[in-house]
Amino acid sequence: MEHEYKVYMVTGATDGIGKATAELLARTGAAVLLHGRDRNKCEAVARELSRRTGNRKLRCYVADYRSLAEVERAAESIASCEPRLDVLINNAGIGSGKLSDKVRKLSGDGHELRLAVNYLAPYLLTRRLVPLLRSSAPARIVNVASVGQKQIALDNLMLENKYDPFEAYKQSKLALILFTFELAERFKAGWRHG
């Protein structure tokens, strides 16, 4: 059965590339699930994009990617509220910030912040949404990466030694790219969940 419109999820949809992507998708008539970390801002963006595009199929899901529990709750909400998901766009992330700021920041779960936000959170969200994506086949997952990448230091994964925000950023983006390759292999092999 052909559905009358596609359903897209765009993480980090309240600013920058995510917001621009959400607007372009809304203009096609698709249902767009907007993710942001602040409910008021997400709902304001939904109203703005709805006004600009005429699309009334915009819905907000809120999760602060610095907390894996919030990501888990958002995934549960999406899976229980949405009957289908055609495309998941993992765009939310945190850049390198001020390169002179050598203070190592942690997520609420105690993970190095850039690894948590740029890799662990999209990994968890994607894994939790695999059943919905598979039931919506042919669905797609798009992971937004970066030209900035660095070999992952497995012996210093959380960058407890010699912290540098740009190195943290590059390492987290390579982790996301490697996850993308792993996803492709698993789906090709008929991966269902787990």
Known catalytic residues are 169
Neighbouring C-beta atoms of residue 160, cutoff 10 Å: 9
Distance CA 139, CA 129 (A): 11
Distance CA 2, CA 84 (A): 12
Q: Please check whether residue 59 is in contact with residue 31, taking contact to mean a CB–CB distance below 8 angstroms.
A: yes
Helices 165-188 and 121-135 meet at what angle, rounded to 10? 20
Q: CA 90, 95, 101: angle at the middle one, nearest 5?
A: 155
Peptide bond into 138 cis (omega under 30): yes
**3 state SS of 119:** helix
